[in-house]
Structure 1
Amino acid sequence: MLGAIGLDEDQESAYRALVGLGAAEVTDLSHRLGLPEDVTARALRQLERQGLVARSSSRPGRWVAAPPAVALGALLTRQRHGLEQAELAAALLAQEFRAEAEEPKVHDLVEVVTGASAVASRFMQLQLGAEKEVCALVTGNPVVVTGMDNSAEEQAAERGVSYRVVVEREVINATTGLTELSAALGRNEEVRVIDRVPTKLVVADRALAMVPLAGAAAGGPSGPAALIVHASGLLESLMALFEAVWREALPLRLDPDGLPKEAGPAGPDSMDLQILSLLLAGLTDASVAKQLDLGLRTVQRRVQRLMEITEVSTRLQLGWHAYDRGWVAR
């Protein structure tokens, strides 16, 4: 029964015998227990280390048992403390295990896609899997998929996915550049132009991004390569990069001939003025969108653009500037 507090069978038998005898020599105790003397002596020394027996001071060679209530109580207390410590350690390990299981692995946050076919396939999947918005930075030197080959863009736009795209000015001068941009603007995509973009980039629903792997080119041993970035701090940084480039770029519009024409941020168009008027009349964004048969995100993006034009940070300031510039009447 005392095995629970660390005593083996020989030690428990020796202690029980000493409790009954009061005191005994090793020889007498070994005969009573039916154990060799060396085994009995070893059991007594182990019991002595645990404070359960002691050598008699009055009669050398004899061993006496410590009072069970005191000796076993101390041993039980020490055992309970050890169990409490073990229980605490187990709880901490379980907590660490859960945190490790919940924390995304690095390889789950970033994956590498190599080869022209694989990169093109993931580029299409990214757009076809989008539900709300695709943001893109486009350079003038497509390596894998050109604008004419990007059928996923048209399919996503037809499903109601909005596009915000910043292109390098070089794209406009490309052979098929005007055709591609006219098609994008015709699908009500928002397109802006800038001298140069820092990198190619596609972000779907702010949850998944694709960016070319530095140094990977079509002529490399494995062909082009790209990083697929999942929700993480890195993805947030890429999205912040896109927003910074978007703010610096100038909008593209269709001129009367149906060709893209670069527009400066001089002021709002007629739709912007309607949105401003309704907002100043006290309507919410959702109500304005319903009133003008627009998407909620379209209303919010237009308001954000007007805030960028007027260089303000709040809608209250935007309303004041709208009155001051004569965009709306009092």
Structure 2
Amino acid sequence: MLWSEGAELVARLAALFELRGTDNPGLREFRGCTAVATGLTDALRGATRLVRAVRCSSLDEIGWVRTGLTPMSPIPAAGGVKFQVVLDTAVACATGETARLLDRAASGWQVRLLHGVPVEMVLIDDNAALLARKGDAAAEHVWFVRSSPLLEIMIDVFHTLWSLAAPVTGHIVMGLDDDGITEQDRALLVMLAAGATDVLIAEKLDLGLRTVQRRLQVLSGRLGARTRFQAGLNAAKRGWL
């Protein structure tokens, strides 16, 4: 998949917002935090098989957080429901987000990272979805989309973003895991893949700058990487993220 393909699908998805005021049985608007929270909760409780989400803002900041629910917080879905989440790489660099991200991956969630996620949405099975425009900081205006050609477009968008994103696995235990990677190493590599600088990594992990640089050198050697980008890519391919 190419970024151009993803951009084209997102453009089609954005066109949904232009349907405001039309009599479309496949669309419903939720306005205001209370209405959005109620709509999202009801939709998630109706999930029976799969919840897929796309996030482009920090989980501790804006967006769905104001509803009291986010794709990374406890969700009132039935047991046995699987979760697939695409997160903007900026989320991985936010304070406290790296550990939360890895915890979710360790609990069985399928999580992937992608730079520049263009939308925020939650898909419930293949039957319904909620969509918020990127930049709607208060998440006070969300579309509820029922089974329709519009929903099919949203599913196509998710599949495109999912195919472009790098996987984050949850092989984390205290000390070394089967790959000889510590929890701290994995957090470091996740932030590296997200584009964080050595200084930022040191700050977020409460490590000295030289310690981070030495550890990156060791990990890059193990990964056979000559550049930071290659290290992040190889780590994802090996399932170290």
Q: In the superposition, relative to structure 1, how do residues 175 and 228 fare at CA in structure 2: closer, same or farther (>3 Å)?
A: same
Quote the residue 2:161 is aligned against: 245
Measure, in 2, the Cα distance between the counterparts of 1:172 and 1:247: 19
Q: Residues 148, 225 of structure 1: CA spacing in aligned structure 2 closer, same or farther, 3 A cutoff? A: closer
Distance across 1 between alignment mates of 2:130 and 2:56: 14
1:140 aligns with 2:111: no
Per-residue CA distance 1:31-64 (angstroms, 9 max, x = gap): xxxxxxxxxxxxxxxxxxxxxxxxxxxxxxxxxx
What amino acid does structure 2 have at the position aligned with 1:252? V
Q: Is the 8 A contact 2:119 2:133 kept in 1?
A: no
TM-score of the aligned structures, taking structure 1 as reference length: 0.43
State the alpha-carbon separation in 2 of the partners of residues 118 and 244 from structure 1. Answer: 30
Q: Corresponding residue for 2:93?
A: 173
Once the two structures are TM-superposed, the CA of residue 160 in structure 1 deviates from its matched residue by 0.9
- Which of these residues, 111, 116, 119, is aligned with residue 36 of structure 2? 119
Contact 2:87 2:111 in 1 (8 A): yes
Which whole-Å deviations, capped at 9, do the CAs of 1:77-97 have from their partners, x for residues lacking one? xxxxxxxxxxxxxxxxxxxxx
Q: Would you say 1:160 and 2:83 are equivalent positions? A: no
2:237 match: secondary structure: coil
What is aligned with 1:266?
237
Alpha-carbon distance in 1 for matches of 2:141, 2:77: 26
Report the count of equivalent residues: 161
- The CA deviation string for residues 120-143 of structure 1, in whole angstroms up to 9 with x for no partner, is 222222222100001111112432
CA distance in 2, matches of 1:250, 1:147: 28
1:146/1:112 CA distance change after superposition, 3 Å: closer
> Does residue 191 of the first structure (1) align with residue 111 of the second (2)?
yes
Contact map agreement 1:138 1:197 (CA 8 A) in 2: yes
Q: Which residue identity lines up with residue 39 of structure 2 in the other structure?
A: R
Amino acid in structure 1 at the alignment position of 2:162: W
Shift of 1:114: 0.3
* Long gaps (5+) in structure 2: 1-21, 191-231
Is 1:207 aligned to residue 207 of structure 2?
no
The correspondence for 1:231, drawn from 129, 147, 170, is 147
Structure with the higher fraction of residues in helix conformation: 1
Question: Secondary structure of the equivalent of 1:247?
Answer: helix
Contact 1:113-1:225 within 8 A present in 2 as well: yes
Q: In structure 2, how many angstroms separate the alpha carbons of the residues matched to 1:195 and 1:152? A: 18
Q: Secondary structure at the match of 1:140?
A: coil
In 2, Cα distance between equivalents of 1:116 and 1:148: 9
TM superposition score normalised by structure 2: 0.57
Pick closer, same or farther for the CA change 1:118–1:189 going to 2, 3 Å: same
Q: Which amino acid aligns with 1:202?
A: V
Identity %: 23
Q: 2: CA distance between counterparts of 1:224 and 1:154? A: 21
Give the number of the structure whose alpha-carbon radius of gyration is greater: 1
Could you say what the CA RMSD is over the residues aligned between the two structures, in angstroms? Answer: 3.2
Task: Answer whether contact 1:130 1:156 (CA < 8 A) is retained.
Answer: no
Describe the SS at the equivalent of 2:142.
Answer: strand
